[in-house]
Amino acid sequence: MALDLLHFGDVHFPGALRGWRASDLFSKKLVGLVNVKLLGRGHKFRHANAVVEAMLADIRRTPPDALLFSGDATMLALPREFANAAERLGVTDNTLPPGFAVPGNHDYYTKHAERAGGFERAFAPWQTGIRVDDHMYPFARRVGTVWLIGVNSSYQGFGIGASGTIGSAQLARLQTLCAGLSEGPRILVTHYPLRDSRGNIERASHRLRDHVSALAAAEDCGIGLWVHGHIHKPFALPPTAAIPFPVICSGSATQEHRYCFNRYHIDGRTLTMTRRVYDPPTAAFRDGEVLEMELN
C-alpha cells in the first residue's frame, strides 16, 4: 500500500513579536530582535502568511496521509508567535491531514523559551505518539505502512552560535523506542541536518554536534529516510556507503525566492520526492524537481 507525506519547515512567521520580556534584553533574544528588525531577516518572510495559505490550499487539493513539520515555526520563540503559527498552520483543524512536528532552534530561542515548552503546547496535536516513559522526545507514530520518528535536535546553546544536539540520553531512548516498533520503513524527522547540501559536515558553529553518534543510532534503529529542515535551501542526498539512507532537507516554505516544500510518495521501499515550488504570479505551488530513491 502506497503512502503520501508532505514535508515543510522553517516557516518563521513574522509579526506577533510583541510580548518579549525585559529580562530578554540581555539575552540572545536581543540579538534576534536586532536581526529581525534591523538586518531585515523578517523582511525575507514578509509573504509567509499568503504562502502558507497557498500551501494549505495545495494540501486540501491533494491531501497527503500526514504533514511533517521539521521546525522553526517562529523567529524568537515568543508566546504570541507560537499561538500565531499554530493557528496559521491549522494545527487544531481536523479537516487537515494529521501533523507530526519537532521544534527548531528558533523555537527554543532562549533558555526560558526552551523550559517554558511553548512549542510543545502550541503543537501538541502534532506531537502525539509512542514515547519512552514520560520523556517528550523521541516519539513515534505509525502512519499507514511507515513509522514516523520525531527527535529533538534543538536546544538553547552557547553564545550566538546555531549548533544543534540530540544528546546521549535522547539517543539512548531512541534505541529503546526503535526496539519496540513493528516492521515498516522508519522515517526520522529532525530540525538539524546530518550533512550540508554537498554531503559535507557543517561548520562547527552550525552543525549537529553529535552527528557521529546520531548517525550510528539512526543506523541501529534501521532508519530508512532522514528528513530535516534548518537549511533554508532544499536539497536531497541519495544513500551512500557512509550513510545508507536518503537525507532530505525541506528548505524554507516561506522565505522569499526559496518558498518550497516536499511531497513524498512511498510505495514499498521506493520513494518519489516531488518538490513543490511557490509561483508568486499565480500565488500557488507548482511541481519542481522530482527524484526517485530507495529507502534503506
Return residues touching Fe ion (CB under 5 A): 10, 72, 104-105, 230
Distance CA 190, CA 232 (A): 14
User: Cβ of residue 76: shortest distance to Fe ion, in angstroms?
Assistant: 12
Contact 225, 145 (CB under 8 A): no
Closer to Fe ion by Cβ: residue 74 or 296: 74
Closer to Fe ion by Cβ: residue 10 or 202: 10
Contact 222, 183 (CB under 8 A): no
> Can you list the positions of beta strands (E) in the chain?
3-8, 66-69, 99-101, 130-131, 139-143, 146-150, 186-189, 223-228, 235-237, 247-249, 260-267, 270-279, 284-294
User: Cβ of residue 103: shortest distance to Fe ion, in angstroms?
Assistant: 10
Considering only CA atoms, which of 134, 142, 108 is closest in space to residue 123? 108
What distances in angstroms separate CA 101 from CA 19, 66, 237, 292, one per listed residue?
A: 24, 11, 22, 24
Closer to Fe ion by Cβ: residue 72 or 114: 72
User: Cβ of residue 231: shortest distance to Fe ion, in angstroms?
Assistant: 8
Contacts of 62 (CB under 8 A, 6+ apart): 4
- For residues 131, 294, 104, 116, the Cα torsion angle rounded to the nearest 10 degrees is -10
User: Cβ of residue 106: shortest distance to Fe ion, in angstroms?
Assistant: 6
Closer to Fe ion by Cβ: residue 24 or 107: 107
Distance CA 194, CA 204 (A): 13
Q: Is the torsion defined by CA of 45, 35, 10, 250 positive or negative?
A: positive
Closer to Fe ion by Cβ: residue 186 or 209: 209
User: Cβ of residue 255: shortest distance to Fe ion, in angstroms?
Assistant: 8
Closer to Fe ion by Cβ: residue 12 or 173: 12
Which stretch of DSSP H or E encloses residue 209? none
Closer to Fe ion by Cβ: residue 49 or 145: 49
User: Cβ of residue 142: shortest distance to Fe ion, in angstroms?
Assistant: 27
What distances in angstroms separate CA 1 from CA 7, 184, 264, 265, one per listed residue?
A: 20, 11, 14, 11
